[in-house]
Amino acid sequence: MKKSILLFAFVTFSLFSCSSSDDNNSSIDTTQLVGTWFLESAKLDGEEVGSSDEANFTSNGRVFYTYYNFGTNGQDITENADYTLNGNTITKIVLSF
């Protein structure tokens, strides 16, 4: 009888103490995001695009992009935008006038 109670208690405790190891709710650490990031690979309309582009994230919510040799005559294109963080999602805010 004592073994049955201990086994029941162990099984019950084991079931309620388990947690998921999924990392779906992780958040982006702002301090690790800030800095210059270099594009390794990307697709634009289903086609591979150059891998020398960069994005520079600042601590005040701005991101500066440089697209190397992307212009019609091979010139570099630069742009900047605001960004927000929500959990593990970075949203770039583009303002059009």
**What is the per-residue pLDDT across 5-60, written as a single tens digit (0 to 9) for each?**
433 444 444 334 444 445 555 787 888 899 999 888 777 788 876 667 899 999 99
Radius of gyration, CA atoms only, the chain: 24
Reference 64, options 74, 54, 75, 51; nearest CA is: 54
Question: What is d(CA 85, CA 33) in angstroms, rounded to the nearest whole number?
Answer: 10
- Asked whether the beta carbons of 27 and 87 are under 8 A apart, the reply is yes
What local confidence, expressed as pLDDT, does residue 27 receive? 80
User: What's the pTM value of the predicted model, to 2 decimals?
Assistant: 0.60
Top mean-pLDDT range of 44-48, 62-66, 69-73: 62-66
Distances (CA, A) of 53 to 4, 7, 16, 50, 68: 64, 59, 48, 7, 6
What local confidence, expressed as pLDDT, does residue 96 receive? 59
97 pLDDT band, cuts 50/70/90, is low
What local confidence, expressed as pLDDT, does residue 60 receive? 92
Reference 85, options 28, 36, 42; nearest CA is: 28
64 pLDDT band, cuts 50/70/90, is very high
